[in-house]
């Protein structure tokens, strides 16, 4: 948190862009690519049941942008790409493309619900710093 | 200047209070933390305290202590869905910069 710099007008200048081309990425042998919490399995399971498409999976991706340089994205996807890693957790499947995977390798995916809201969070051992949650501002 | 909520935020506040088993309303507090210097915190409130200002909007009560009010005066609290996430959003006319939502990081 302390490494996080305030970004003047970050709200409007926060851009989203494609990642630089990734070097071919091979999963290290025996490595756990993603740790998926029980709350993700139950919440995504419930969301997918609502959608009613048995092929739907949770896609996690990384794009350039945000205050700290990269940002995570979450979406549902029913098409797996050639370079996707698919992780099964309980009854759900999670897709991560190779370019994104190198940034989230070994990360823990969690789903938090509290008074402020409900959101997916990533505890990422590769991240040097992260930044607040729209709950941070300057005057 | 007062605090207000959108109908969506009001609905969510009522839902949260019901789940909790009641309460007077929500307190909007300011903490000195986060990337941009200050951070909002929301708490359930049982009753207004002596130094509190109380606002009613869309049928729900918001409390803010008098000292914090200048930083949040005119703020509208909204409830927004962004992709698969949803949460309260502070539309604060006093804020000159805001910063992301934990989805931003450096390597």
Q: What digits encode the pLDDT tens for the residues B38-84? A: 888 899 999 999 999 999 999 999 999 999 999 899 999 999 988 88
Q: Which of B16, B84, B90 sits opposite A120 (nearest CB)?
A: B84
Average pLDDT over residues B87-95: 89
For residue A62, tell me if it sits in a domain: yes
Domain extent for A44: 31-123
Q: Is A134 an 8 Å CB contact of chain B?
A: yes
Task: Give the pLDDT of residue A139.
Answer: 61
Structure tokens at A52: 């009613």
CA distance B78 to chain A (A): 11
Give how far Cα A115 sits from Cα of A22, A109, B87, Å.
38, 20, 8
By C-alpha distance, the chain A residue nearest B42 is A116
Nearest CA in chain A to B95: A139
CB-closest option in B42, B88, B99 to A7: B99
Residue of B nearest to A126 (CA): B107
Instruction: Of B15, B78, B26, B82, give the one whose Cα is nearest residue A118.
Output: B82
Handedness of CA A25, A26, A30, A32 (dihedral sign): positive
> Residues B7-44: pLDDT tens digits?
999 999 999 999 999 999 999 998 877 677 788 889 99
CA distances B23 to A14, B43, B46, B91, Å, are: 38, 11, 5, 24
Alpha-carbon distance of A101 to A12, in angstroms, equals: 28
Task: Assess if residue A46 is contained within a domain.
Answer: yes
Map out the domains of chain B with their CATH numbers. Answer: 4-91 (2.60.300.12)
Per-10-residue mean pLDDT of chain A, 139 residues long, equals 36 50 60 90 92 91 80 90 92 94 92 91 84 63
Number of structural domains (chain A) is 1
At residue A12, the pLDDT reads 37
A13 assigned to some structural domain: no
Is A80 contained in some domain? yes
Instruction: Report CA B107 to chain centroid distance, whole Å.
Output: 31
Q: Does residue A19 sit within a domain?
A: no
- Please report whether residue A5 resides in a domain: no
In a domain, A50, yes or no: yes
Q: Quick one: pLDDT band at residue B5, thresholds 50, 70, 90? A: very high
Partners of B43 on chain A (C-beta within 8 Å) are: 115
In a domain, A2, yes or no: no
Closest CA of chain A from B104, distance in Å: 4
CATH of the domain at A65: 2.60.300.12
Interchain contact A96–B (C-beta under 8 A): no
C-beta neighbour count of A134 within 10 angstroms: 25
A71, A127, A138 ranked by CB distance to B37: nearest: A138
CA–CA separation, A107 and A104 (whole Å)? 5
């Amino acid at each position: 948190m302390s490494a996080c710099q305030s970004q003047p007008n970050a709200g409007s200048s926060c851009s989203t862009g494609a990642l630089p081309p990734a070097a071919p990425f091979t999963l290290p042998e025996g490595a756990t690519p993603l740790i998926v919490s029980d709350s993700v399995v139950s919440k995504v399971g419930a969301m997918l049941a609502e959608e009613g498409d048995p092929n739907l999976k949770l896609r996690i991706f990384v794009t350039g942008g945000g205050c700290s340089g990269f940002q995570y994205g979450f979406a549902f996807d029913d098409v797996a790409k050639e370079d996707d890693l698919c992780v099964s957790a309980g009854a759900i499947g999670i897709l991560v493309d190779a370019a994104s995977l190198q940034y989230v390798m070994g990360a823990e995916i969690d789903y938090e619900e509290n008074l402020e809201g409900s959101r997916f969070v990533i505890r990422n051992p590769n991240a040097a710093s992260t930044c607040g949650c729209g709950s941070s501002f300057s005057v | 200047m007062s605090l207000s909520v959108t109908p969506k935020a009001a609905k969510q506040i009522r839902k949260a209070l019901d789940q909790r088993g009641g309460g007077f309303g929500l307190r909007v507090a300011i903490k000195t933390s986060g990337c941009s210097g200050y951070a909002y915190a929301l708490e359930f409130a049982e009753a207004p305290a002596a130094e509190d200002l109380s606002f009613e909007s869309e049928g729900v009560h918001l409390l803010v202590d008098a000292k914090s009010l200048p930083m949040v005066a005119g703020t509208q609290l909204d409830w927004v869905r962004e992709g698969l996430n949803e949460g309260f959003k502070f539309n604060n006319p006093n804020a000159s910069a805001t910063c992301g939502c934990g989805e931003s990081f450096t390597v």
